[in-house]
Structure 1
């Protein structure tokens, strides 16, 4: 291939609209994390979106240097599109053909790459564009791809579906995608995310049970839980084995406080995807919540065996999640707390240290400092170590309930120390530190009063 032809091919490749030009990995720190998230966006594992999944996996295979496997994924995507969208196969295949061109280019097979560039060009020229066209099908394909990537891509997915709807108003596919993207972006109570969009999506996609559960979750936050539960039960009756529906229904029942129902639904979902780390994490979290519930309700007396049984179940699932995917920011601290609960302090220390060694978000760091500080204070009886971690947690520039709890604990520790020794240097240092945080609380005022009187 001549240099001129090669340059022409490279320019054409850059103009293609496909997974290789959509910047899907932008902002990602780990290809493993990215792939795990893609594989676990379960609402996009339905048959109509399997071609999207195959295209994404082809892109991931390429990123791993596995271009031969990437070609196999693209072949599967092409076959699925032909079966599911025979009347629109050419337009629906544009992203797949663009991906083919990129993979062949990286394999050093420019003639094959050019063949797929030409296929894209022929379809686009029918619609007066050389290598890319603006059509609802392409906007939807990009939207589903970004939605499946999750994270920072959800906002861009929303824009894609909105563009598709500008060209084809009330398209069931576009409204469905927009409703899911909007739900993810604004997973709070209405009117932030109007339930009207979800209701419209359900009217246009009456067989999509996942949308019904999303609406139920939204209704639950508006105190319309009864209507929400009817929708969840209807969805579960119609698709009793769909992972996305089961997982979201479990979230509904967990929010309702029905941990047994939530655990049962997650267990059913796990039957279909036994290696799903996310499901193991959420099941383990439910069992942990049961342990905490026993604590709150003072049911530990005479039920030590029940407690240990729940702890074992929680540990089993959380360890699977942690070992198969180290990105769950709470898994290790959950495990540490559970081990501490049953007196296995060495195991607790191991998981606390493992979590302390990770790169965590500010919020996750605060949670960890609070939990490890509590462990040191109450289980290990090491007040100085507890103070260190509470202080480190308070220093983090992030307002949260955990931060307030650590301040309160530091207030109490300082009060107790000053009541024994009004010249306690560590207690006085804590007072100055808390004043510097410029967060006046009732406890702080009381503590300053005590200090002034005794000084």
Structure 2
């Protein structure tokens, strides 16, 4: 191929809307785990050809990223077949994404005639259905893009939300886009103080009205309502969802999460085990089971004598560790489960294993540039509660707070540091380091005058260059 022809193809291909142009980075997800989830999705959605067609499209792209180009071709073609079966002649706009994927795949396979064939078909679709704007794709494309981002990685949840929002501006009554927007909001929205102000609750209700048979949406609404203590409505929704879809693993796993939050741990465990019988390779379900066993252990501790129940406590902890090990084996980049596994090793007094697990987790977090603050917080917890090393716990709580005072981990670190400092001051009112810790907390929160007061007290008991430097900076900032 001449350089002129190559420029022609590349120019046309880069203008397409498909998985190859959506900047989906394989570094942002665990491809094997993603593939397992997408293949499970096909089994769950067998009665919904539109959803299955979309899933085949995503599987094809994952296969391409894994280097299986022949399998990628087969899945893209299956997506086209199902789309045509489902929508008949009125499916042109739904073929934009799979045709784009096929054009890119044939180009990468140096099959330029086939590539040009799909480019020509896409040109015909565009001429037949001129888009309203050159910068805004068809709503069908925006919808598929939203579902793709939602499945691919949590790093793309905000982008998924924006895709569904734009699709709904063009087609506000579309049930699929309303469902996608509700799920994207559920995964991204910060809680409001009042449920009537919650965009997630409003959108979930709207999506359920438009998709009354979608029991996953009902459970998600139930979970969100518990945040606002709307327990009666939440339980009614969850019970209905479970009654309607007693074998659907997605419904069961969220119902299990609901019962765990409500304190019905044994019921949660039974449901999640049932879901695991249907989906053997679900890292999510293994993680949820581990959290349920963890909560059961906490209940056993609180119920009375640890010695009389030590065998039961150990049995439950072993179950927790087993499911965490399964979750991290199935999804080696599952940072939340990796952190929990390291903490459970610490609880089990297997300190070398815990330290090794933490170092591996730090490495994954750095490589992914994701959840570093969470890992730092968990490591501080490990030092405080398992290793009983207050100095290292303080060091890592401080490091965690520096990463962001307004996050959950930042706020919890500040709380731990405050309690440590106040306890030390109650024992020794002239503890300079304790006042320095309080000064640091106030400084990170932007409470400058309180920080100055604490650093002044610290300096009155001990000469310290760091305290003096912080004090000078704070005074200058107030001038």
Q: Normalising by structure 1, what TM-score?
A: 0.84
Distance in structure 2 (CA, Å) of the matches to 1:186 and 1:80: 34
Match of 1:219 among 200, 222, 225: 225
**Alignment partner, residue 436 of structure 2:** 432
Say whether residues 1:372 and 2:375 are aligned partners: no
**Corresponding position of 1:33:** 30
Aligned length in residues: 435
1:173-208, Cα deviation, whole Å (9 max, x unpaired): 222222222222216353232533222221221211
Partner deviation per Cα, 1:324-358 (whole Å, 9 max, x = no partner): 32323343443344344344444444434444555
Q: Would you say the 8 A contact 1:216–1:229 is kept in 2?
A: yes
Q: 1:393 to 1:408 in 2, by over 3 A?
A: farther
Structure 2 match to 1:266? 272
Uncovered stretches (5+) of structure 1, i.e. residues with no partner: none
Aligned match of 2:172: 169
Task: Show the counterpart of 2:255.
Answer: 249
Specify which of 116, 127, 130 is matched with residue 128 of structure 1: 130
Deviation track 1:190-233 (CA, whole Å, cap 9, x = no partner) reads: 32325332222212212111111122122222322111111111
More deviation in 348-357 or 51-60? 348-357
Q: In structure 1, what is the equivalent of residue 474 of structure 2?
A: none
CA distance in 2, matches of 1:342, 1:167: 55
2:188 pairs with 1:185 = yes
Partner of 1:86 in structure 2? 88
Cα distance, 1:246 vs structure 2 = 1.4
Q: Secondary structure at the match of 1:128?
A: coil
Cα contact 2:73–2:102 (8 A) shared by 1: yes
Instruction: Tell me, in whole angstroms, the C-alpha distance in 1 between the residues paired with 2:398 and 2:171.
Output: 56
Q: How does 1:297-312 map to 2 (within 5 A)?
A: 297-312=303-318
Given that 2:99 and 2:118 are in contact with CA atoms closer than 8 Å, whether structure 1 keeps it comes out as yes
- Matching residue of 1:324: 330
User: Structure 1 pair 182/133, CA: closer, same or farther in 2 (3 Å)?
Assistant: closer
CA 153–239 in structure 1, closer or farther in 2 if over 3 Å, else same: same
Classify 1:291/1:341 alpha carbon distance in 2 versus 1 (closer, same or farther; 3 Å).
same
2:402 counterpart of 1:403:
no
> How far did residue 389 of structure 1 move?
4.4
Q: How does 1:195-214 map to 2 (within 5 A)?
A: 195-214=201-220
**Which range moved further: 32-41 or 114-123?**
32-41
**Does 1:361 pair with 2:372?**
yes
Matched, 1:155 2:154: no
In structure 2, C-alpha distance between the alignment counterparts of 1:336 and 1:303, rounded to whole Å = 23
Give the secondary structure class of the aligned counterpart of 2:20.
Answer: coil
Out of 125, 138, 141, the position equivalent to 2:141 is 138
Find the aligned partners of 2:222 and 2:258 in 1 and give their Cα distance: 8
Aligned pair in 2 of structure 1 residues 302, 212: CA closer, same or farther (>3 Å)?
A: same
Corresponding residue of 2:470:
none
Query: How many angstroms apart in 2 are the aligned matches of 1:338 and 1:194?
Result: 34
Contact 1:74–1:100 (CA<8 Å) still a contact in 2? yes
Query: What is the 5 A alignment of 1:57-96?
Result: 57-96=59-98
Instruction: Deviation per CA, 1:386-443: give whole Å up to 9, x if none.
Output: 5554554555543311332134235535765x59xx8xxxx644543543443699xx
Q: Secondary structure at the match of 1:438?
A: helix
In 1, Cα distance between equivalents of 2:114 and 2:352: 59
SS of 1:20's equivalent in the other structure is helix
Aligned equivalents of 2:171 and 2:271: distance in 1?
37
Root mean square deviation of aligned Cα: 3.3
Given that residues 284 and 313 in structure 1 are in contact (C-alpha distance below 8 angstroms), is that contact kept between their aligned partners in structure 2?
A: yes
Structure 1 CA distance for aligned equivalents of residues 280 and 129 of structure 2: 46
2:281 is matched with: 275
For the Cα contact (< 8 Å) 2:103–2:118, is it kept in 1?
Answer: yes
Change (3 A) 1:173 1:334: closer
Would the aligned equivalents of 2:29 and 2:153 in 1 still touch at CA under 8 Å?
Answer: no
The change in CA–CA distance for 1:224 and 1:66 in structure 2 (over 3 A counts) is: same
- Give unmatched runs, 5+ long, in structure 2: 462-479
TM-score w.r.t. structure 2 length?
0.80
